[in-house]
């Protein structure tokens, strides 16, 4: 379902009498939806956005051509919204707090519509299918596709967000930290293959914390509690068969802030398969606090900082 290069670079206003190009956004938590919405507007593309209640941040409505809040389990309503506005091209971006799906009385709280029940019944009711992230997200994407609405990779609209390889900070990891990166990388890749999580925290080639449903920030916070001496390494990688339409590894200022608070020393991410938001601010924060940030294609790549 990846969008073609022609579609990615096409602008809305080209051609006399041509209707403006429209793109839909399904927005969760974080700054990523803001970044993509602004990028689309700069390209002259109309943005129609559904913000997931309790997840998306206020302020998106000021950027988008049209904006509505929507409940977490309102798939049918989302489909009707995009159809009403003639949207066939949608991007899913921002975090959905999966822990919300495991709270008491979750069905009563989120009141899924009939389309959501049909989509997720095999996962949460009959238990014929598992509840791993990719399984649920593919089910969601297929429900929209059946109605003629197709999800594409959000990075098609802003490919510069995918971080290039290299040492991004003044400080380079030490020899011991490079060993921790290599050690953690292989484990994180296996975690991704099993669809457990993307992030692992390592110190002296020992696993301190792994990410599951709680997310990267909570994983880092827990590592700080467990490793009081600090100096640990955070490794975040894409899954071996990463679907770039959703759940792409993403780091930004908040990731760095959590590391600073918890006592982390190194952040290692996968080059060209990780979204780096607010890159100048992230690098500045890391340099000011003595952290190393590196982007690699494979764990045995090592450089010295420029």
Query: Of 123, 156, 189, which one is at a domain's C-terminal end?
Result: 156
Task: Note the pLDDT tens digit of each residue in 67-79.
Answer: 999 998 899 999 9
Q: So what's the pLDDT on residue 117?
A: 87
Residues 150 and 17 in one domain: yes
Q: So what's the pLDDT on residue 249?
A: 96
The torsion angle over the Cα atoms of residues 60, 61, 62 and 63, rounded to 10 degrees, is 60
Domain containing 32 equals: 5-156
Instruction: Report the domain count for the chain.
Output: 2
Task: Note the pLDDT tens digit of each residue in 214-260.
Answer: 999 999 999 999 999 999 999 999 999 999 999 999 999 999 999 99
Q: So what's the pLDDT on residue 6?
A: 40
d(CA 232, CA 178): 11
Nearest to 1 by CA among 129, 134, 91, 135: 91
Whether residue 303 is contained in a domain is answered as no
Q: So what's the pLDDT on residue 88?
A: 98
Residues 149 and 166 in one domain: no
Q: Is the pTM of this model over 0.85?
A: yes
Whether residue 301 is contained in a domain is answered as no
Q: Which helix (H) or strand (E) holds 267?
A: strand 264-270
Whether residue 139 is contained in a domain is answered as yes
Kindly give the parts of the chain with pLDDT less than 70: 1-17, 100-110, 299-306
Whether residue 241 is contained in a domain is answered as yes
């Amino acid at each position: 379902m990846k969008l073609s290069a022609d579609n990615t670079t096409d602008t809305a206003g080209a051609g006399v009498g041509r209707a403006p190009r429209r793109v839909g956004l399904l927005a969760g938590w974080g700054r990523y939806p803001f970044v993509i919405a602004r990028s689309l507007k700069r390209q002259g593309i109309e943005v129609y956005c559904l913000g997931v209640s309790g997840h998306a941040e206020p302020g998106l409505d000021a950027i988008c051509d049209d904006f509505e809040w929507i409940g977490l389990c309102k798939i049918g309503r989302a489909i009707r919204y995009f159809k009403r506005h003639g949207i066939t091209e949608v991007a899913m971006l921002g975090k959905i707090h999966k822990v919300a799906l495991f709270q008491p009385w979750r069905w009563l709280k989120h009141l899924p519509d009939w389309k959501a029940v049909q989509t997720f019944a095999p996962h949460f009711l009959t238990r014929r299918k598992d509840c791993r992230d990719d399984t649920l997200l593919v089910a969601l994407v297929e429900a929209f596709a059946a109605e003629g609405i197709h999800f594409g990779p959000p990075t098609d609209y802003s490919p510069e967000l995918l971080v290039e390889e290299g040492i991004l900070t003044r400080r380079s990891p030490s020899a011991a930290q490079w060993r921790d990166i290599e050690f953690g990388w292989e484990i994180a890749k296996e975690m991704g293959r099993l669809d457990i999580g993307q992030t692992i925290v390592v110190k002296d080639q020992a696993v301190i914390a792994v990410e599951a449903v709680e997310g990267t920030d909570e994983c880092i916070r827990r590592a700080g509690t467990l490793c009081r001496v600090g100096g640990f390494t955070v490794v975040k990688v894409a899954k071996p068969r990463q679907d770039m339409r959703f759940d792409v590894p993403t780091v930004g200022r908040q990731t760095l802030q959590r590391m600073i608070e918890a006592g982390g020393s190194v952040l290692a991410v996968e080059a060209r398969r990780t979204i780096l938001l607010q890159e100048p601010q992230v690098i500045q924060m890391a340099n000011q606090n003595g952290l190393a940030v590196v982007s690699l294609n494979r764990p045995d790549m090592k450089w010295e900082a420029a």
